Amino acid sequence: MKGALSSLFAPDRVAVVGASGEAGSVGRAILENLQADFAGDVLAVNPNRETVLGTACHDAVSDIEAPVDLAVVVVPPEVAVDAVRDAGEAGVDAVVVITAGFGEAGAEGATRERELREAAATHDIALVGPNSLGVMSTPVGLNATFGPRMADAGSVSFMSQSGAFVTAVLDWAADRELGFKDVVSLGNKAVLDEGDFAAAWGEDPDTDVIMGYLEDVGDGRAFVETAREVTAETPIVAVKSGRTQAGASAAASHTGALAGSERAYEAGLDGAGVIRADSVQSLFDAARILDGQPLPDGEGVAIVTNAGGPGVMATDAVGDSDLSLADFADDTVAELRDALPDGANLYNPVDVIGDAPAERFEAALEAALADDAVAAAVVVACPTAVLDFEALAEVVVDVHEDTGLPIATSLMGGGGTAAAEATLSAAGVPTYFDPARAVESVDVLREYAAIREREYEAPTTFDVDRERARSILARTARRDSNRLGVEAMDLLDAYGIPTPDGEIVESPDAAAGAADAIGDEVVMKIVSPDILHKSDVGGVEVGVDPADARDTYESLITRARNYQSDATIVGVQVQEQVDTAAGVETILGSNRDPQFGPLLLFGLGGVFVEVFEDTAVRVAPASEPEARAMLDDLDSAPLLRGARGRPRVDEDAVVEAIQRLSQLVTDFPAIAELDVNPLLATPDGVTALDLRLTVEQEALEE
Amino acid sequence: MNTLLVTATEDGIGKTAIALALARHAQDRGQTVAYMKPKGTRLRSATGKTRDEDPMLARELLDLDAGIHEMEPVVYSPTFVQDALRGREDAAGLRDRVTDCFEDLSADADLVVVEGSGSQTTGSIVDLTDRDVADLLDARALLVGEYATGTDVDPLLAAAEEYGERLAGVLFNGVRDAAFDELQEDAVPFLRGRGVPVLGALPRDPALSGGSVGDLVEELGAEVLTSESVSTDAHVERIAVGAMSADSALDQFRRTREAVLIAGGDRPEIHAAALEAAGIEALLLTGGMRPPSAVLGRAEEAGVPVLAVQSDTRTTIDRVEAALGSGQTRTAATVDRIADLLAERADLDALLD
């Protein structure tokens, strides 16, 4: 680790600003925690005291002669910013602000937080908090928190947006042989945020796994960029709270930030290579196995059990995961036949039957792991009269060490398994009661192995007419509404997404002229930013003969007026009729997420999106492989590929349309949302038939 | 002397601003101007006496010394209306009062701008409609109307025909861009064909509807929860109501602009979404509930004012709609803008010479 973050986690000299001897005070708790184990010097700053807990007090950090690497600020909020400025002037690189009463505390606090940020920028300080529990680093015995306990040493580094969660986790982890390298309570993230720590730990040889508890991600796009680099070497597992409506409300009340949509996080964190846990338990399960076990080089898993029922449960769990039950080679089956008694199941899942001692597990496990199709093993054991769990734990550890392959275990017993669990944990082999959890943890290894193999391609840049697009978007500046509809189809044209021939007309004569020019049956649609569901109000006529265009114009306008007399009516669109039966109607859209920026959404039209919510979502910009993967993500993808007698559509054209839209919404952050619905996909290409978007004019002017 | 009655087909389409802007133009031409609003209808209780706000604004903007009681001889209050219905008001006496005041005000004036009140029927119960006032004061009438669709021509033509020879002409106000072509191509030629002079058409200027967040604070008696460094100058003219799920809230808020969000104080996820949407200029929280302090911190950071009122959401919506909708936020700036539009788009000579 380099730079200011090494001052943060590996300081030589730490000053506690606001050190106190008063029982129950935060200033005392931090000083005591630091004095307990820290390898370096601990200095106390308090202008009102001579000494605190036997340490001489300085009036200010700037009064300390030797250079201070880290200042921990616990003074009241009114003077906290001054304390940080003083530390900055004294040349301190890293500051942790424990003090609360900033942005989380209302209007006055927000102003204070801005001042804090400015002070940090002026003096180039790496600042944690404010409103933080503090930081820890086990190699140097640094506990600069006011929490009740120090973390056990290990190689997991942990960041949390909740201080309380830190103390809970350390307490819990201590009983489970999970050790930490660095721990940081992020607080309000005024300066350093999740991306900064991910980047620093990604370069830290002593951090094997990065674990996070997040409520929001400040700059999602930057986090994605950072995390993609980090996760090529170091796994990141994170739990993101605020997934539900009630959870989002609770998170907003905690941080004041919009939690962001669930699908944005899913797309953003997945795109970043972050392994997402949906509960604290699965967060720890993932961190532990990533910390303790090597990565499998395939998806095949062998299950070895002494009990039929639990073996079936483990097999079901494999079915639910992205692992597969390995298909043993003939040699493996032969070897198992030699090692196991009659009545044993020689095929996967291997049942060594109820009278098996630990040695039989060992033989079966060795045989299974020797098979090329087997990348990992799950051992499921129930208590029997002949099975000694401790002996089983030892053979599992031996096999794991001999083969170097990942193993997870399920010991389905109560207190009797404690000693065996300790043996396994010490060797980094996770053990659970529930066989499904053992399988899920192996699935995490597979997931991370796949993430490491990812190659992120740069998005394709197409030759587009950006200025033309800008002038189309700018049209909303001159109107009451910031929404555009089919009248903005040229926007798609400017970015090379095919649109049918057509034009917007403002009179019956012009309608007739436009229809004659097309020379065949046309589609006519009312164009009004105030009428969103055109077809519901009779605002769309298909198959109009050019001879009838004049009358159709009148009736469309009349219907729109009847529906909403004060609607702004831009005109009527006369469009070449496209044979929708010749293809598949898809939806291509974008929605700008506050944290991750523009998201791309693709799905099949009609019930597939609206009822089944079968959509693929990515964070823009999407590269060609990402755009292609969006098709694969859909459950309804076979319908694009000729299922049930449908035409097989031009997939390359769909992929290109996704990429071109990705470029459009990336170029123009002012597009708050955009829907091409439908985008008709046919064997010969794609055509955008309708368009709706919302433009944030202020953003366009920037 | 030129006596000009500014009357309208219905209330709330800009009579006051047009009347005052015309008076200003006359002053600019060196004329001595008087102002009168015979029936006071926009009532506000000032220093214990119920008075119309418009004459007060006129006095201030036109720098007039006349007493409010002369500029507004009849206070058309609910009490007055009740008395009239019970036969306690004498129509002849009222007419005398109006003409007496008019004579005093007009003594040295080149132009008397007489502002009408309400719609064409207001004042019927005491024989003092705008039409009656025109005869009483021997005034020419400028008829202000709106135009959104062809059906708006009906009330306009009916009113114009009522005034007959007294009609100076028709002026359209607040015409949206989308309706302008139809107005020019169809409605104006039609009216001219029926002998109704059209003196101009003023486009709708978004800056002239709605009001500032500060105006709302005043109208509603709201408490401002953000600090003074967060400006309340932003202009708002629409309402967004926060009664949806958090997921769709942001989408919906982004589709609006120059809007004030009205939501319960207990929906922090809605508040947070509103703070992300550029078109939401202020948060108005109902039910007397304060938002979480973290939300206030974010609002402060985003520079978006947060207001709180005790009333429930339903009542608050009605109050804000009333405040924004009826253009109760007429100010000097509004009159300036209308004066500019009149100079560009209306036949001032026909009215002021």
Structure confidence by residue, pLDDT tens digits, B112-133: 999 999 889 999 999 999 999 9
Query: Cα–Cα–Cα angle for A320, A326, A328, nearest 5°?
Result: 155
Contact at CB, B246 and A106, closer than 8 angstroms: no
Question: What is the ipTM score, two decimals?
Answer: 0.71
**Extents of the domains making up chain A:** 1-134, 148-292, 297-453, 501-577, 582-701
Mean pLDDT of chain A: 90
Contact at CB, B176 and A480, closer than 8 angstroms: yes
**CATH 3.20.20.140 assigned to A297-453:** no
Cβ(B9)–Cβ(B121) below 8 Å: no
Structure confidence by residue, pLDDT tens digits, A498-513: 999 888 998 899 999 9
How far apart, in whole angstroms, are the C-alpha atoms of residue A483 and residue A155?
A: 52
CATH assignment of A1-134? 3.40.50.720
Quote the DSSP letter at residue A164. H
For residue A371, name the pLDDT band (cuts at 50, 70, 90).
very high
Q: What are the backbone dihedrals phi and psi of residue A233, each rounded to the nearest 5 degrees, phi first?
A: -120, -40
* Out of A105, A255, A565, closest to residue B149 by CB: A565
User: Mutual orientation of helices A194-202 and A220-230 as an angle, nearest 10°?
Assistant: 10
Q: How far is A696 from chain B (nearest CA, A)?
A: 7
For residue B288, name the pLDDT band (cuts at 50, 70, 90).
confident
* Out of A110, A248, A565, closest to residue B269 by CB: A248
Going by C-alpha positions, the residue among A203, A657, A482, A107 that lies closest to residue B295 is A107
Q: How far is B198 from chain A (nearest CA, A)?
A: 23
Structure confidence by residue, pLDDT tens digits, A621-657: 999 999 999 999 898 888 888 887 777 899 999 999 9
Between A580 and B233, the higher pLDDT residue: B233
Amino acid at B86: R
Q: Biggest alpha carbon distance in chain B? A: 66
Q: What is the structure's pLDDT at B161? A: 94
Which residue in A258, A261, A674 has the most chain B C-beta atoms within 10 A of its own C-beta, making it the best mutation to test that interface? A258
- Provide the 3-class DSSP secondary structure of residue A626: helix
Cβ(B320)–Cβ(B239) below 8 Å: yes
How far apart, in whole angstroms, are the C-alpha atoms of residue A601 and residue A662?
A: 10
> Could you tell me how many residues make up chain A?
702
Structure confidence by residue, pLDDT tens digits, A391-407: 999 999 999 999 999 99
Contact at CB, B268 and A256, closer than 8 angstroms: yes
How far apart, in whole angstroms, are the C-alpha atoms of residue B151 and residue A566?
A: 11
Going by C-alpha positions, the residue among B41, B3, B43, B42 that lies closest to residue B19 is B3
In chain B the first and final C-alpha atoms are separated, in Å, by 10
Which residue in B147, B209, B296, B306 has the most chain A C-beta atoms within 10 A of its own C-beta, making it the best mutation to test that interface? B296
Q: What are the backbone dihedrals phi and psi of residue B258, each rounded to the nearest 5 degrees, phi first?
A: 45, 50
Query: Cα–Cα–Cα angle for B182, B183, B184, nearest 5°?
Result: 95
Contact at CB, A111 and B255, closer than 8 angstroms: no
Contact at CB, A109 and B268, closer than 8 angstroms: no
Helix or strand holding residue A222 (H, E): helix A220-230
Other beta carbons within 10 angstroms of residue B27's beta carbon come to 16
Q: What are the backbone dihedrals phi and psi of residue B70, each rounded to the nearest 5 degrees, phi first?
A: -80, -40
For residue B56, name the pLDDT band (cuts at 50, 70, 90).
confident
Least confident of A427-441, A483-497, A683-697, B314-328: B314-328
* Mean pLDDT calculated for residue range A103-129: 92
Q: What is the structure's pLDDT at B329? A: 45
Cβ(B169)–Cβ(B142) below 8 Å: yes
Smallest CA–CA distance from B292 into chain A, residue: A253
B267 vs A: CB within 8 A: yes
Contact at CB, B298 and A257, closer than 8 angstroms: yes
Smallest CA–CA distance from A109 into chain B, residue: B297
Give B 170-199 residues with CB within 8 A of chain A. Answer: 176-178, 181
pTM of the complete model: 0.79
Instruction: Please list, in sequence order, all residues whose beta carbon lies within 8 angstroms of the beta carbon of residue A3, skipping any fewer than 6 positions away.
Output: A93, A126
Q: What is the structure's pLDDT at B290? A: 85
Smallest CA–CA distance from B206 into chain A, residue: A480
pLDDT at A417 exceeding the cut of 90:
no
Structure confidence by residue, pLDDT tens digits, B59-111: 888 898 888 888 989 988 888 888 999 988 888 999 999 999 999 999 989 99
The reply to whether A1-134 and A148-292 are identical in fold is yes
* Out of A258, A262, A506, closest to residue B273 by CB: A258
DSSP A516-574: HHHTS-EEEEEE-TT-S-GGGGT-EEEEE-GGGHHHHHHHHHHHHHHH-TT----EEEE
Q: What is the structure's pLDDT at A6? A: 86
How far apart, in whole angstroms, are the C-alpha atoms of residue B89 and residue B96?
A: 12
pLDDT at A322 exceeding the cut of 90:
yes
Give chain B's domains with CATH numbers. 2-208+329-352 (3.40.50.300), 211-325 (3.40.1390.20)
Going by C-alpha positions, the residue among A657, A590, A602 that lies closest to residue A631 is A602
B279 vs A: CB within 8 A: yes
How far apart, in whole angstroms, are the C-alpha atoms of residue A610 and residue A588?
A: 13
Superfamily classification of domain A501-577: ATP-grasp fold, A domain (3.30.1490.20)
How far apart, in whole angstroms, are the C-alpha atoms of residue A375 and residue A510?
A: 69
Quote the DSSP letter at residue A622. P
Structure confidence by residue, pLDDT tens digits, A210-221: 999 988 888 888
- For residue A52, the cross-strand partners are A55
Q: How far is A216 from chain B (nearest CA, A)?
A: 12
- Quickly name the fold that domain A582-701 has: D-amino Acid Aminotransferase; Chain A, domain 1 (3.30.470)
How far apart, in whole angstroms, are the C-alpha atoms of residue A74 and residue A61?
A: 13
For residue B48, name the pLDDT band (cuts at 50, 70, 90).
very low
Cβ(A51)–Cβ(A43) below 8 Å: no
Q: What is the structure's pLDDT at B110? A: 94
* Mean pLDDT calculated for residue range B280-305: 90
How far apart, in whole angstroms, are the C-alpha atoms of residue B346 and residue A108?
A: 51
Using an 8 Å CB-CB cutoff, list chain A residues near B244. none
How far apart, in whole angstroms, are the C-alpha atoms of residue A141 and residue A35?
A: 10
How far apart, in whole angstroms, are the C-alpha atoms of residue B308 and residue A107?
A: 14
Amino acid at B2: N
For residue B47, name the pLDDT band (cuts at 50, 70, 90).
very low
Q: Which residues of A96-131 are buried (b: 16+ CB within 10 A; e: fewer)?
A: bbbbbbbbbbbbbbbbbbbbbbebbeebebbbbbbb
* Out of B246, B251, B300, closest to residue A248 by CB: B246
- Provide the 3-class DSSP secondary structure of residue B214: helix
B280 vs A: CB within 8 A: no
Smallest CA–CA distance from A694 into chain B, residue: B255
For residue A480, name the pLDDT band (cuts at 50, 70, 90).
low
* Out of B227, B272, B293, closest to residue A257 by CB: B272
For residue B328, name the pLDDT band (cuts at 50, 70, 90).
very low
Contact at CB, B297 and A248, closer than 8 angstroms: no
In chain A the first and final C-alpha atoms are separated, in Å, by 37
How far apart, in whole angstroms, are the C-alpha atoms of residue A598 and residue A507?
A: 38
Other beta carbons within 10 angstroms of residue A374's beta carbon come to 25
Q: Biggest alpha carbon distance in chain A? A: 99
Per cent of chain A over pLDDT 70 is: 96
Q: What is the structure's pLDDT at B46? A: 43
Which residue in B253, B298, B304, B306 has the most chain A C-beta atoms within 10 A of its own C-beta, making it the best mutation to test that interface? B298
Q: What is the structure's pLDDT at B246? A: 73
How far apart, in whole angstroms, are the C-alpha atoms of residue A305 and residue A339?
A: 14
Distances (CA, A) of B114 to A333, B58, B111, B135, B139: 106, 11, 9, 12, 8
Q: What is the structure's pLDDT at A478? A: 65
Structure confidence by residue, pLDDT tens digits, A590-613: 999 888 899 999 998 877 777 777
For residue B55, name the pLDDT band (cuts at 50, 70, 90).
confident
* Out of A253, A259, A482, closest to residue B257 by CB: A482
Contact at CB, B275 and A113, closer than 8 angstroms: no
Contact at CB, B251 and A591, closer than 8 angstroms: yes
Superfamily classification of domain A148-292: Succinyl-CoA synthetase domains (3.40.50.261)
Using an 8 Å CB-CB cutoff, list chain A residues near B206. 480
- Matching residue, tokens 């006011």: A146
Beta strands at A584-593 and A671-682: parallel, antiparallel or unpaired: antiparallel
Using an 8 Å CB-CB cutoff, list chain B residues near A110. 296-301
How far apart, in whole angstroms, are the C-alpha atoms of residue A197 and residue A200?
A: 5
3-state helix, strand, coil in chain B (%, to 5): 50, 20, 30
Distances (CA, A) of A445 to A179, A293, A296: 19, 8, 7
* Mean pLDDT calculated for residue range A186-203: 95
Between A140 and A608, the higher pLDDT residue: A140
Using an 8 Å CB-CB cutoff, list chain B residues near A696. 254, 278-279
Q: What is the structure's pLDDT at B337? A: 86
Q: How far is B293 from chain A (nearest CA, A)?
A: 4
